[in-house]
């Protein structure tokens, strides 16, 4: 596609439920990132995928968060047993080869946990 | 470890006035630096980036930024503000210590443009 797409754009869930957020990166981009944007914490890195290498999960806030990337393309971020503090906008970004290259961001998924 | 500080969470200027958004960084390695803009309910859009080429970087929409190593700064400027520039602006540094390119963001600066 022309850019990074994310779905759903909005998700409202009840505390304790599991949610899945999807990211479709720009075709051909080998690197994919998830970030979280919240009022209290600003923009923070969650996880990074590069090709077939093991992901960098150092930003995941708890073991309730996990992510996978299938076939080197689409990625899914899963949050289990959601808590109210998980409410935030989850942003996905992808980039081509080279750490100095631009990361292109999707529009985000706004998650609200009631 | 890398970090970014944006001075001023809110900046207000009049239409046609100079825009100056401040960003200071901390990095143990030569940094890659970025400015992104976020309009309401949208993702982040790259304005410009510094990747060790020219220290004066020109970006989209008339914005530019100058990398000053001695001051560890990367301030964003625009000579004349437009109403359409009202948005939130984020300065970021690429994490050079992990070789992942993950971005470390400042807290953001909301730019208000008054008519």
Write out A73-91 in H/E/C secondary structure. Answer: CCEEEEECCCCHHHCEEEE
Chain A residues in contact with B32 (beta carbon < 8 A): 99-100
- CB-based contact, A22 to chain B, within 8 Å: no
Length of chain A: 114
Average pLDDT estimate for A74-86:
97
Note which residues in 38-67 of chain B have CB less than 8 A from chain A. Answer: 41-46, 49, 51-52
The burial class, CB within 10 Å (0-12 / 13-18 / 19+), for B16 is: exposed
- Residue B88: its pLDDT value, please? 96
- CB-based contact, B32 to chain A, within 8 Å: yes
Separation of alpha carbons A34 and A17, rounded Å: 21
| Count of helices and strands (H, E) across chain A | 0, 10
Which residues have a Cβ under 8 Å from the Cβ of B15 and sit 6 or more positions away? B81, B82, B83, B113, B114, B115
Nearest residue on chain A to B97, alpha-carbon basis: A99
8 Å CB contact of A101 and B43: no
For residue A2, list its beta bridge partners.
none
Query: Could you give the angle at the alpha carbon of B53 between the alpha carbons of B48 and B54, nearest 5°?
Result: 75
- Residue B23: its pLDDT value, please? 97
Average pLDDT estimate for A28-45:
92
- For residue B14, the tally of other CB atoms under 10 A from its CB is 11
- Considering only B11-25, B60-74, B97-111, which range has the smallest mean pLDDT? B97-111
State the count of interchain CB pairs (< 8 A) between A and B.
64
Average pLDDT estimate for B16-38:
93
Tokens 């075709």 locate to A27
pLDDT above 90: percentage of residues in chain B: 77
Query: DSSP class of residue A101?
Result: S
Under a CB-based contact definition with an 8 Å cutoff, are residues A22 and A107 in contact?
A: no
Average pLDDT estimate for A55-71:
94
Separation of alpha carbons B81 and B113, rounded Å: 7
Average pLDDT estimate for A14-36:
96
Per-residue confidence band for B1, with pLDDT thresholds at 50, 70 and 90: confident
Per-residue confidence band for B95, with pLDDT thresholds at 50, 70 and 90: confident
């Amino acid at each position: 596609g022309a850019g990074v797409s994310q779905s759903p754009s909005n998700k409202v869930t009840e505390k304790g439920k599991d949610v899945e957020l999807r990211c479709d990166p720009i075709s051909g981009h080998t690197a994919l990132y998830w970030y979280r944007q919240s009022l209290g914490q600003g923009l923070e890195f969650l996880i990074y995928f590069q090709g077939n290498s093991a992901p960098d999960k150092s930003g995941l806030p708890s073991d309730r968060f996990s992510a996978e990337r299938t076939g080197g393309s689409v990625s899914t971020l899963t949050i289990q047993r959601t808590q109210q503090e998980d409410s935030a906008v989850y942003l996905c970004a992808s980039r081509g080869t080279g750490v100095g290259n631009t990361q292109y961001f999707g529009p985000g998924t706004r998650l609200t946990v009631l | 470890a890398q970090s970014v500080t944006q001075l001023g969470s809110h900046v207000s200027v009049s239409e046609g006035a100079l825009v100056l958004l401040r960003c200071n960084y901390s990095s143990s390695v030569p940094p890659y630096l970025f400015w992104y803009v976020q309009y309401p309910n949208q993702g982040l859009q790259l304005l410009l980036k510094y990747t060790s080429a020219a220290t004066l970087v020109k970006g989209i929409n008339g914005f530019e930024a100058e990398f000053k190593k001695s001051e560890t700064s990367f301030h964003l400027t625009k000579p004349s503000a437009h109403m359409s520039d009202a948005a939130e602006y984020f300065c970021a540094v690429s994490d050079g210590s992990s070789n992942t390119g993950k971005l470390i963001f400042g807290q953001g600066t909301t730019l208000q443009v008054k008519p």
